[in-house]
Amino acid sequence: MRRRLLILFVNFSVVLACFAQREELIKFADFEQWMKRDIKESGVIGGETKTLYEIAPSAHWNKDNKKQNTPYCNQGGSPWATSNIYARVSGINKTNISVWRDVHDNGYCVKLQTHIENVKVLGLINISVLASGAIFTGEMIEPITDTDNPMSKMDLGVPFNKKPKAIKFDYKVHLTGEPNRIRQSGFSKVTTVPGKDMPEMVVYLQHRTEDADGNIVAKRVGTLIYNFPKSTNGWRIGQTFEIHYGDITSASFYESRMGLLNGAKSLYARNSKGKVVPINENAWADKSLNPTHAIVKFDSSCGGAYIGTIGTTLWLDNIKWVYD
């Protein structure tokens, strides 16, 4: 009798396991490994050597490289890029640091924060830019040489052919309480943008094709956009956000910002010829179609480039896909 009960219990446990959700950590998204790199800024702005952190295998990328100001590309198979950048504007080498390694429990996490980055050289250049912290799947295209069309400086998305039910992670948020945001691009007057600032997450699963001329066309397979509306009292652990598949325009939760991205709203990616081109999303995919690429992007501020509130901060850890 005992043996029969034991066998029944084991079989029942196996059945439950089959129905349990499966989780898959996105590579390096436990944020326990960080690659350091050094950028020496131009002498006219102080000549300091700044250390930038990238989400990649633990190493000092250019420690023995006499030419420190080398454009960075993803290392060690990491799918992640950050808004920590090397810029060369009007012959001046400059960095922006808006993503940091921070502490969570007995390990590390990632911290994204919105701040003002200044470049001032008497008689030559005087720029103050609002920079939000961001991490995304893809690559940053360095060096950054201007503030025009910032999305064209990012190769967004990595190969991915699965259909997860959701994305799951730990997070913490700090909002400043300011009722409005600002827009500060560096070359125009600072303006007020109505609405409070908050961090933002987007997940786009796309099925991409490329024509003979290198143009990239995509169908939108899966969509998730979420703004973090308030500060948290410490960490929120294991929070899950559902990904929506197919044409969602008639769904109750649909907002215009979830729509297809093309024209002036296009994102960019590197084609098979090595050129960075717009991704033209021209249709919603049928729910049966698998994606070819995944874009996962977190920003400390919402509203687009150069828009936000100084001090808005998002911490993240343990980013995973969730499957049925």
Which residues are 284's β-sheet partners?
220
Tokens of 79: 């799918």
* Three-state secondary-structure class, residue 177: coil
Number of residues that make up the chain: 324
What is the model's pLDDT at position 89?
Answer: 82
Range from 83-97, 103-117, 130-144, 194-208 carrying the lowest mean pLDDT: 83-97
- Residue 264 makes CB contacts below 8 A (sequence gap 6+) with none
- pLDDT range class, residue 12, cuts 50, 70, 90: very low
Instruction: Burial-class residue 293 by CB neighbours within 10 Å (0-12, 13-18, 19+).
Output: buried
Q: Give 124's pLDDT tier (boundaries 50, 70, 90).
A: low
Span 80-105, mean pLDDT? Answer: 94
Percent of the chain at pLDDT exceeding 70: 92
Percent of the chain at pLDDT above 90?
81
Reply yes or no on whether the pLDDT at 211 is more than 80. Answer: yes
Q: Which pLDDT belongs to residue 91? A: 87
pLDDT for the residue 14: 41
Count the neighbouring beta carbons within 10 Å of the beta carbon of residue 20: 9
The C-alpha atoms of residue 119 and residue 126 are separated, in whole angstroms, by 6
Residue 188 phi, psi (nearest 5): -140, 170
Q: 40 to each of 37, 265, 294, how far by Cα in Å?
A: 10, 34, 34
Question: Helix or strand or coil: residue 258?
Answer: helix
Domains in the chain with CATH codes: 23-323 (2.60.120)
Contacts of 149 (CB under 8 A, 6+ apart): none
Calculate the alpha carbon distances from 7 to 16, 180, 269, 319 in Å.
14, 63, 54, 37
| Residue 16 structure tokens | 């439950």
Compute the C-alpha angle 28/322/12, nearest 5°.
125
Determine how β-strand 191-193 pairs with β-strand 181-183: antiparallel
Q: What is the pLDDT of residues 164-207, one digit of tens each?
A: 999 999 999 999 999 999 999 887 899 999 999 999 999 999 99
**Tokens, residue 81:** 């890029």
Contact residues for 137 (Cβ-Cβ < 8 A; gap 6+): 26, 79, 80, 81, 156, 157, 158, 294, 295, 296, 297
- List, for residues 223-266, the tens digit of each pLDDT value: 999 999 999 999 999 999 999 999 999 999 999 999 999 999 99
pLDDT tens digits along 154-164: 999 999 999 99
Quote the pTM value. 0.92
Average pLDDT over residues 208-233: 98
> What is the structure's pLDDT at 118?
83
For 12, which DSSP code?
H
Q: How would residue 67 be classed by pLDDT, with cut points 50, 70 and 90?
A: low
pLDDT: which is higher, 117 or 277:
277
